[in-house]
Amino acid sequence: MAEEEERVLQEEFRWLLLHEVNTVLRQLQTVLQECSKWFLLPGSTEACLVKAEKYLLTSATGADNVKAVITLYGDNICTADMSVKIHRHSTQNFRTSFREGLQWKLQAIQNAANHLQAALDHVTSIEQGYLFQTGEEVVKVMDDIMGRLNRGRDCLTTPRKRTLEELYSSKIMKMFSPALPNEVIVSFHIHCHKLVLGAYQVHPLQSSSQKPKTALPAIYHPTGSVFELSSQKYEVVQANKVEVAVPWLNDVITYFTVGLQLCQQLKDKITVFQQYWKD
Q: What average pLDDT is seen over the chain? A: 90
Give the integer Cα–Cα distance in Å for 51 and 104. Answer: 16
- DSSP-derived secondary structure letter, 214: B
- So what's the pLDDT on residue 90? 67
- So what's the pLDDT on residue 20? 93
Does 206 score more than 90 pLDDT?
no
Angle at 124 between CA 52 and CA 15, to 5 degrees: 135
| Cβ count within 10 A of residue 235 | 17
Handedness of CA 220, 224, 227, 232 (dihedral sign): positive
- DSSP-derived secondary structure letter, 163: -
Distance of CA 40 to the CA centre of its chain: 15
Handedness of CA 75, 76, 81, 84 (dihedral sign): positive
- So what's the pLDDT on residue 209? 42
Give the integer Cα–Cα distance in Å for 134 and 213. Answer: 55
- So what's the pLDDT on residue 213? 57
| Cβ count within 10 A of residue 37 | 17
- So what's the pLDDT on residue 128? 87
pTM of this structure: 0.90
Q: pLDDT tens digits for 1-19?
A: 577 777 778 888 888 888 8
Distance of CA 197 to the CA centre of its chain: 15
Band the pLDDT of 214: cuts 50, 70, 90.
Answer: low
Give the integer Cα–Cα distance in Å for 54 and 69. Answer: 7
